[in-house]
Amino acid sequence: MPLSPLGGKTYSSQRIKMADRIHRITMFKAPKAEDQQKLIAEYKTVNATAERRLVILLRSAGHHSRRKEVPPQNAGGVREADVGFSQNGAPYILSLTAGVAEADPRSNGFTVVAKTEFANLDDMKYYDNECKAHQTLKAAAKGLTIEGIQTVYFTPQVVAEKQ
């Protein structure tokens, strides 16, 4: 029986409370307007191309197993009998917001801000180390005039949502 792309489960960013998420803020000091727009374009690409991950541990005839990442669209070809372990296949980026900062002396020269939310620290580490779109963004940023980057992340202790 083939696996569903999400392991037979549905996932929604709404199911993970905002207070339980890892919130990450990255700020860039990119003085040139064209470089600011290039960074925004890279974040649009991350948003559009960051793939869901389905990590499975394939059983073999012997005692050895191997780890394999399967894009959700290809998970239909994996039989449940082959799977010893599966990560949930949920999106690792729950929310991504990026934009050019408003001109304000308090910005200390930071001109582009990106906020990403992750379900947990492992998903953020995946984004940092394995996400192809994020690797492309980092490579593109090296070719721009960037005078500084600041990244912080946290789990909220205060959350207020008003509609």
User: pTM for this structure?
Assistant: 0.69
Question: Is the pLDDT confidence value at 26 over 60?
Answer: yes
**CATH number of the domain where residue 119 is located:** 3.30.70.100
Q: pLDDT tens digits, residue range 88-118?
A: 556 788 899 999 999 999 999 999 999 999 9
Overall number of domains in the chain: 1
Phi, psi (degrees; rounded to nearest 5) at 133: -65, -40
DSSP lists the bridge partners of residue 86 as: 56
First to last CA, the chain: 44
> Percentage of the chain with pLDDT > 70?
64
| Domain coverage including residue 64 | 13-154
Residue 6, in any domain of the structure: no
Residue 115 to residue 98: CA distance in whole angstroms: 6
Q: Return all residues near 92 (Cβ < 8 A) that are at least 6 apart.
A: 50, 52, 53, 118, 119, 123, 126, 127, 131
Residue 39, in any domain of the structure: yes
Residue 136, in any domain of the structure: yes
